């Protein structure tokens, strides 16, 4: 059973603080092992990838080849259901259309002193995309990571994906094909991250690495950060559903379980103003749990981290929701737009009774790579901005230098930086 909190209870603040502080993930200490793997890949290159893949993925890259070929991709379509491929194409179009609005614009202007200033955006040249193997090998995530990179103009998008026992999900290859991934390699784990960061004989290095992975992948990304850019370190998924009793309890229960089935460390939270509705949802969760193929995972998540919070009215839910700062927030109430507009901290907001969060996972168009573990307070979901960088541009003529120079000299002198002062003064004969 999920925990219950009553916002009007005298001990609510203490209970809510404890709830917010709950650790859902034990971070495995794999730093030493990962350090050794990275050093070996830097030293031995492809040979290390072949060796680690034999050991960890039980796959023979000398036979399969490190690089996934065009023929491999063509044959993936033979194994895939045509309707699913069509759904991937549909999702791709919608994600592409949404992300195409995100490309930032250059800004060049001349100020009142005649100084020319500018901000110029350009794409990262080469990006690596990590895709997990096994049950977490989601084709939808390939689209969500690859599309913003391609919209940004990344020329070389390199995917790495482990092939346990030699197997790669054909839909993952198809999603990569649809999204325009340029190179695919059959390698995973810390060794794949090392190959992307430092390069091997076969894999040229990239400048940024994105995509989710296990503890080894996360540790490897942290260790190569600086040498290359990385995206955020993803934590387990969360949903907060704010719902009144005009909803069908079965609908809301299904939404809560759609996060719980991801991971035993996932978290599903319901905030409602109706105690009887809360009971009805809790009962519907129990009924639906029994029908899920991932019942054990979903049940563990719901029992350990699930929560139902009862509030007097939904205005009081907002400050709680902001403190939770959930990855996903569904608002299924009257005046949902109004509540949504006041919510400050959330990765993604789903408004109204007909917008289950799952639509955002696949075909809404917005990105499903979103900030977890309360990081929506300071970070955003993946977007085109993660694949571009900005150069600032400045241009002065002699007149502008005369106008700005004296203040620069004054500040340089105040900071004790002689050569700074001189580089301006020498041009002004000061």
User: Which 202-261 residues touch its own copies, going by CB under 8 A?
Assistant: 207-208, 226, 228-229, 233, 248, 250-251, 254-255, 257-258, 260-261
Distances (CA, A) of 128 to 131, 154, 157: 10, 10, 6
Indicate whether 393 belongs to the interface with its own copies (CB under 8 A): yes
92 included as an active-site residue = no
Residue 254 CB, nearest approach to its own copies (Å):
4
For the chain, the 3-state helix, strand and coil shares in percent, each to the nearest 5, are 50, 15, 35
Of the candidate spans 5-13, 55-63, 105-113, 192-200, the one that interacts with its own copies by CB under 8 A turns out to be: 105-113
The answer to the question of whether 262 is labelled as a binding residue is: yes
Query: Which element (helix H / strand E) includes 314?
Result: none
Residue 56 CB, nearest approach to its own copies (Å):
23
| Secondary structure of residue 418 in the 3-state scheme | helix
Catalytic-role residue among 183, 238, 261, 327: 327
Of the candidate spans 61-69, 97-105, 185-193, 312-320, the one that interacts with its own copies by CB under 8 A turns out to be: 97-105
Distance in angstroms (rounded) separating the CA atoms of residues 88 and 77: 12
Residue 263 CB, nearest approach to its own copies (Å):
11
Indicate whether 350 belongs to the interface with its own copies (CB under 8 A): yes
Of the candidate spans 15-23, 39-47, 52-60, 360-368, the one that interacts with its own copies by CB under 8 A turns out to be: 360-368
Catalytic-role residue among 92, 99, 328, 368: 328
Residues in Cβ contact with 294 at an 8 Å cutoff, skipping those fewer than 6 apart: 261
Residue 46 CB, nearest approach to its own copies (Å):
20
Among 20, 47, 296, 410, binds its own copies (CB under 8 A): 410
Phi first, then psi, for residue 388 (nearest 5°) are -125, 165
Q: What is the largest CA-CA distance in the chain?
A: 84
Of the candidate spans 190-198, 270-278, 313-321, 407-415, the one that interacts with its own copies by CB under 8 A turns out to be: 407-415
The answer to the question of whether 191 is labelled as a binding residue is: yes
Indicate whether 426 belongs to the interface with its own copies (CB under 8 A): yes
Burial class (CB within 10 angstroms; exposed 0-12, middle 13-18, buried 19+) of 31 = middle
Indicate whether 349 belongs to the interface with its own copies (CB under 8 A): yes
327 included as an active-site residue = yes
Question: Are the CB atoms for 202 and 185 separated by under 8 Å?
Answer: yes
Among 34, 59, 124, 157, binds its own copies (CB under 8 A): 124
Among 303, 332, 306, which residue's Cα sits nearest to residue 317?
Answer: 332
Whether the CA torsion 178, 183, 185, 191 is positive or negative: it is negative
Distance in angstroms (rounded) separating the CA atoms of residues 226 and 228: 5
Distance in angstroms (rounded) separating the CA atoms of residues 325 and 346: 5
User: Which 129-158 residues touch its own copies, going by CB under 8 A?
Assistant: 135, 138-140
The answer to the question of whether 71 is labelled as a binding residue is: no
Question: Are the CB atoms for 205 and 196 separated by under 8 Å?
Answer: yes
Residue 323 CB, nearest approach to its own copies (Å):
11
The two counts, helices (H) then strands (E), for the chain are 18, 14
- Annotate 392-420 with b (16+ C-beta within 10 A) or e (fewer): eeeebeeebeeeebeeebeebeeeeeeee
Residue 310 CB, nearest approach to its own copies (Å):
23
The nearer residue to its own copies, 69 or 423, going by C-beta atoms, is 423
User: Which 10-69 residues touch its own copies, going by CB under 8 A?
Assistant: none
Phi first, then psi, for residue 126 (nearest 5°) are -140, 130
Q: Which residues are annotated binding-site positions?
A: 130, 191, 214, 237, 259, 262, 328, 361, 415, 420
Q: Which residues are annotated binding-site positions for NAD(+)?
A: 130, 191, 214
Q: Which residues are annotated binding-site positions for substrate?
A: 237, 259, 262, 328, 361, 415, 420
């Amino acid at each position: 059973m999920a925990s219950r909190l009553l916002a009007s209870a005298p001990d609510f603040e203490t209970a809510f603080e404890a709830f917010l502080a709950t650790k859902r993930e034990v971070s495995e200490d794999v730093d030493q092992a990962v350090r050794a793997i990275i050093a070996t890949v830097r030293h031995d290159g492809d040979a290390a990838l072949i060796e680690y893949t034999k050991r960890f993925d039980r796959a023979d890259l000398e036979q399969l080849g490190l690089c996934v070929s065009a023929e491999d991709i063509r044959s993936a379509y033979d194994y895939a259901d045509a309707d699913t491929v069509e759904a991937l194409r549909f999702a791709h179009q919608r994600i592409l259309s949404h992300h195409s609005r995100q490309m930032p614009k250059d800004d060049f202007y001349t100020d009142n002193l005649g100084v020319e200033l500018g901000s110029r955006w350009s794409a990262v040249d080469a990006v690596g995309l990590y895709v997990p193997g096994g049950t977490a090998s989601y084709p939808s995530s390939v689209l969500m990571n690859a599309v913003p990179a391609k919209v940004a103009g990344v020329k070389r998008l390199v995917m790495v994906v482990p092939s346990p026992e030699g197997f790669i999900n054909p839909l993952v290859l198809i999603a990569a094909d649809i999204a325009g991934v340029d190179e695919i390699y059959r390698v995973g784990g810390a060794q794949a991250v090392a190959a992307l960061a430092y390069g091997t004989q076969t894999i040229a290095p990239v400048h940024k690495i994105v995509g989710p992975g296990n503890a080894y992948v996360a540790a490897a990304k942290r260790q190569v950060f600086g040498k290359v850019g990385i995206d955020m370190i993803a934590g387990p998924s969360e949903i907060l559903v704010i719902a009144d009793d005009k909803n069908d309890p079965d609908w809301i229960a299904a939404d809560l379980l759609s996060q719980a089935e991801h991971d035993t460390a996932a978290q599903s939270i319901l905030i409602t103003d109706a105690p009887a509705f809360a009971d009805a949802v809790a009962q519907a969760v129990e009924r639906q749990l029994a029908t899920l193929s991932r019942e054990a995972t979903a049940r563990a998540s719901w029992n350990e981290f699930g929560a139902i919070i009862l509030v007097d009215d939904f205005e009081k839910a907002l400050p709680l929701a902001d403190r939770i700062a959930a990855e996903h927030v569904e608002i299924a109430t009257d005046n949902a737009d109004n509540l949504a507009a006041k919510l400050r901290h959330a990765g993604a907001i789903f408004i109204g009774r007909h917008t289950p969060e799952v639509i955002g996972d696949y075909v809404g168009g917005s990105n499903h790579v979103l900030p977890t573990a309360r990081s929506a307070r300071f970070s955003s979901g993946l977007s085109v901005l993660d694949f571009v960088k900005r150069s600032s541009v400045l241009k002065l003529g002699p007149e502008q230098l005369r106008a700005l120079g004296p203040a620069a000299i004054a500040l340089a002198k105040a900071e004790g930086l002689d050569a700074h002062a001189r580089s301006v003064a020498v041009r002004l004969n000061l």
